[in-house]
Amino acid sequence: MITLRKANTRGTTRIGWLDSKHSFSFGRYYDPDFSGFSNLLVINDDTVAPAMGFHTHGHDNMEILSYVLSGELAHKDSAGHQRTITRGMAQHMSAGAGVQHSEFNASRTDPVHFYQIWILPSKRDIPPAYNELPFDASKRTGKLQLIASSTGTDSTGDKAIAWNADAALYASILHKGASVKATIASARPAWVQVLRGSVTVNNQPASTGDGLAITGESELTITQTGNDEAEVLVFELAKNPGNAR
């Protein structure tokens, strides 16, 4: 079964420096029909104005990953990590027993556009950890590239982010008419987030900003449609999400 979450039905937070769209309940936005999916708790589509951002704040017992579409995203945390990531990179923080951090647009001239993802952890109260990796776009063009998993490596041995979560995250860029197939382990739910462009997922049309909640499907065929290339994230999620709490 596939349930389409249209981009224009997402929650929004708009203030002077931030345009954020929430696929799931977040902050003051609440939607009982979309308050997380399995152990996937947050998908925020954030655009931050130049030289602005989120001041120091705390998190605990959450796996947080940022995936940059354009611009420069600066991170600083109480464990001493201070880095800037750009297009083609992903940044991960295990908040664990507790950490303070801030996120800012590192550019004074251009906005930064990124997706922030929160996943419930497999183990609680672990020591906080930080990681970032660049990802070669050629390895996700016309194919699925592993971005994060519990092991941090794919079937070929390529390195991915290792996170404390029973979930795997893949990315794919699809040129005109291209397709990829994703095999979903038995009884696991999946979520597809369309970052840009238009696709079909098992013949279900979706476009920029749309998300698809998927249950009971052992294979997904994702096909680019329209005139512009598409980019998607594919999540394979926990069979028993209650174990993550």
Distance CA 220, CA 133 (A): 26
**Predicted confidence band of residue 35 (pLDDT cuts 50, 70, 90):** very high
What average pLDDT does this structure show over 71-82?
84
Q: pLDDT value at position 153?
A: 82
Q: What is the DSSP string of 169-208?
A: EEEEEE-TT-EEEEE--TT--EEEEEEESEEEETTEEEET
> Domains of the chain, with CATH numbers?
2-244 (2.60.120.10)
Q: pLDDT value at position 88?
A: 86
What average pLDDT does this structure show over 51-62?
85
Distance CA 227, CA 207 (A): 12
What average pLDDT does this structure show over 151-180?
91
pLDDT tens-digit series, residues 106-161: 899 999 999 999 999 999 999 988 889 999 999 999 999 999 999 888 777 789 99
**Predicted TM-score (pTM) of this structure:** 0.94
Other C-beta atoms within 10 Å of 140: how many? Answer: 21
Q: pLDDT value at position 207?
A: 98
Q: Which SS3 state, helix, strand or coil, does residue 90 take?
A: strand
